[in-house]
Amino acid sequence: MNGNQLIGNSESAEGGSTFNAINPGTGETLEPAFHEATQGEIDKTLELAKEAAPFLRNASGSDRKRLLDAIAEEMEADAEAIKDRVGAETGYPQPRLDGEFGRTVMQLRVFGKVAKEGDWVGPRIDTAIPDRDPLPKPDLRRMLVPVGPVVIFGASNFPLAISVAGGDPASALAAGCPIVTKGHPSHPGSSELVARAVLRGVEKAGFPEGTFSMLQGATNETGKALVEHPDTSAVAFTGSLRGGRSLFDIAAARPNPIPVYAEMGSVNPQFVFPGKLNSDPSQFAESLFGSVTMGNGQFCTCPSMVFVPEGEDLSKMTDRYLELVGESQGAALLNPGIANAFSQGVDQWKSIEGVEVLGEGTLEGTAVGAAPVIAKVSLEDFKKNPEPFMHEVFGPSTMFVACPDADSFVEASESFDGQLGSSIHCSNDEVSSASELIGKIGEFSGRVCINSFPTGIEVCDSVHHGGPYPATTDAQHTSIGTAGISRWGRPISFQGTPDELLPDELKNGNPLGLMRLVDGKWTRDSVS
C-alpha cells in the first residue's frame, strides 16, 4: 500500500494534494497519504478503459466468469489484510467485517454465474417471412450489449460490498464493461488493497490492462472530471442526496448525457399495526433497535421513521427502546462529516414544533461516532409540515410518529416521496386490513416488507434496491441483486444478418442454451 493511483498496470501519484484516512475509533491518522487524482491521470485511465472495451465486449460469458472468479480468489487470498484495514478505517466490528467481506466475494461469484448463464441479455428473435403480403417480414434479433466504460463511486458505508469490488463493479464486469472505480475518501487504504486484488485477478484471467483502474480523490472536482470525461458511458454512485444529485446534474449537462445510477438513501417508514405491537411491545422495540443500530444506523435502509398507534403499547415499546438507548455506548461513525451531520440532524429535529427527543445514548470509547437517539412527534404535528422529516438523519436515529389509530396510516403515507424500503408490521388478523396501505406504500417504495425491517438486504434475483427519486436518480434499476446488471447493457437489433455474423446469443443453434423469445414464445430451443 503506497497511496498511488492504480491505472491499469501502472501506478502514479501526480497530484500534489493528499489526504489520509483516520481511524474513527481512536481518532488516529492512518498512513500512507493518498494523492488526489489529476486530470492527466483521469484521462489516461479512461483512455485505457476505452481501449479495453472491445476485449470485454467480445469476451464470452464464461470468460467474464473466469475474470470474476479470479478476482474473488485474489480477494480471499488477501482477506485478513483487507479486513484489518477496513476495520481500522471504519471502526466496524469483526462480525460486520467478516459478513461484508463474505458478501462481497459472494457477489463477485454470483455475477460470474450471471455472466456465464447469459440470460440477462434478453435475447429476442423474430424470424423472416419473405413471402408476407404486402411486404416481406425481415429477420430481426435483439439483445443487450455492454455500454462501455463505467465509472463507479464507492460508498462510505459499505467499504467492500458497495465499493471497489462491490456489486456495481461486479455487475459491470459481468456485463462486459471496463470499470474505473473511485474509492471513497473515508477508506482509501481499503480501496487500494481491494484494487490490488482486483488487478491481480485481471492479470490472472488474461484480461487487458484497462479492464479495471482505481483512482483516489476527496474533492468534488475529481468526481466531476470523471463524470464529464467523454469516454465515460455510465456512472454508479451510492451516497448522499446532495452528492448523487450533483453527479446526475453534471451527467445531464454533458454534450452527450449519460445515465447516473445514484442510490441516495431514504427514511424508510415503518407502519406498525396495533395487533402486532400488542403481541410483544418489548420484543418489537428490540427488533427495531437491532435494525436501527446495524452498522450504527449507517445503512441506506435504516428504518428511521416509525408510525405507531398512540396508547399503552406504544408506551411499553418506547420504555424498552429507551432502556436499550440508555444501555448503549454508541459506536463509531465512518468519518467526522457523517458525525457532524448526525448531530446537526438531531438538532434540526429538536427545532421542529411538536418533536420531543425522548432519549439519547452516551457515546463512550470512540473518537468519531454517535449513540442512538429517539424522538417522538404526533401525527398531527408531522402532517403540519412533513418536509423536514423527509431528510435522512444518517446514523442511529429513530422518530416515532404517534398516530390516533392504524386507519390514519394511509393518509400519513401520502406525505412520502421515493423510498428504498418501507414496512408494514401486522398480526395475521390484520393482514387483510393492510391491503390498501400496501398499495399506497408501493407507489413510492422500491421494496415493501411485511413483518421485517428493510435492513439486511438479500442479494438475489428478486430483490429491488431502488425506488423513485429522491431514493435514486433512476427508478428503473436496482443497485443490489442480479438485476443490477441490466444497468450496463443497451439493446441492439440485427436485421437480416447471416447466422455466422451473429453473436452466439442470437445464433439459430442457440449454442449458449439461453432462454429466448422466439416468434413470441419463450424457449431454449434452436431456431429451425
Helical packing angle, 79-90 and 61-77, nearest 10°:
70
Can you read off the three cell numbers belonging to residue 176? 462486459
Active-site hit among 100, 209, 300, 302:
300
Residue with smaller CB distance to its own copies, 327 or 414: 414
The minimum distance between CB 247 and its own copies, in angstroms, equals 12
Identity of the residue numbered 41: E
Find the binder of its own copies among 470, 505, 507, 510 (CB under 8 A): 470
Q: Cα-Cα-Cα-Cα dihedral of 161, 103, 87, 222, to 10°?
A: -10
Q: How far apart are CA 223 and CA 83, in angstroms?
A: 26
Closest CA to 498 of 489, 507, 490, 487: 507
Q: Does 496 bind its own copies (CB under 8 A)?
A: yes
Active-site hit among 263, 360, 392, 505:
263
CB 24 within 8 A of CB 332: yes
The minimum distance between CB 474 and its own copies, in angstroms, equals 8
Contact letters for its own copies, residues 356-375 (x by CB under 8 A)? --------------------
- Chain positions 298 to 317 lying near its own copies, rule: CB under 8 A, are none
Q: Does 249 bind its own copies (CB under 8 A)?
A: yes
Find the binder of its own copies among 458, 509, 525, 526 (CB under 8 A): 458
Instruction: Select the span of 79-87, 151-159, 219-227, 458-466 touching its own copies (CB under 8 A).
Output: 458-466
- Chain positions 499 to 528 lying near its own copies, rule: CB under 8 A, are 500-501, 515, 517, 520, 522
- Chain positions 394 to 453 lying near its own copies, rule: CB under 8 A, are 417-418, 421, 431-432, 434-435, 438-439, 442, 445-452
CB 99 within 8 A of CB 79: no
For residue 32, say if its preceding peptide bond is cis, omega within 30 degrees of 0.
yes
Residue with smaller CB distance to its own copies, 11 or 519: 519
Distance from first CA to last CA of the chain, Å, rounded? Answer: 57
CB 378 within 8 A of CB 402: yes
H or E element that contains 246: helix 241-252
Find the binder of its own copies among 44, 64, 116, 124 (CB under 8 A): 124
Q: Is 263 among the catalytic positions?
A: yes
Q: Does 495 bind its own copies (CB under 8 A)?
A: yes
- Chain positions 209 to 228 lying near its own copies, rule: CB under 8 A, are none
The minimum distance between CB 333 and its own copies, in angstroms, equals 25
Instruction: Select the span of 35-43, 341-349, 358-366, 465-473 touching its own copies (CB under 8 A).
Output: 465-473
- Chain positions 11 to 70 lying near its own copies, rule: CB under 8 A, are 54, 58
Residue with smaller CB distance to its own copies, 16 or 498: 498
Helical packing angle, 94-117 and 79-90, nearest 10°:
120
Q: With contacts defined by CB under 8 A, how many residues of the chain interact with its own copies?
A: 75
Find the binder of its own copies among 79, 145, 352, 367 (CB under 8 A): 145
Residue with smaller CB distance to its own copies, 148 or 217: 148
Instruction: Select the span of 39-47, 166-174, 273-281, 476-484 touching its own copies (CB under 8 A).
Output: 476-484
Return the number of other C-beta atoms located less than 10 Å from residue 13's C-beta.
Answer: 19
C-alpha distances in Å from residue 505, one per residue of 52, 74, 126, 490: 22, 30, 14, 15
Q: How far apart are CA 28 and CA 36, in angstroms?
A: 21
Find the binder of its own copies among 27, 40, 257, 365 (CB under 8 A): 257
Find the binder of its own copies among 282, 469, 508, 527 (CB under 8 A): 469
Can you read off the three cell numbers belonging to residue 174? 459481468
**Phi/psi of residue 472, nearest 5 degrees:** -145, 175
Three-state secondary structure call for residue 173: helix
Q: Is 47 among the catalytic positions?
A: no
Identity of the residue numbered 523: T
The minimum distance between CB 165 and its own copies, in angstroms, equals 22
Question: E-strand spans in 154-272?
Answer: 179-182, 212-215, 234-238, 260-263, 270-272
Catalytically annotated residues: 263, 300
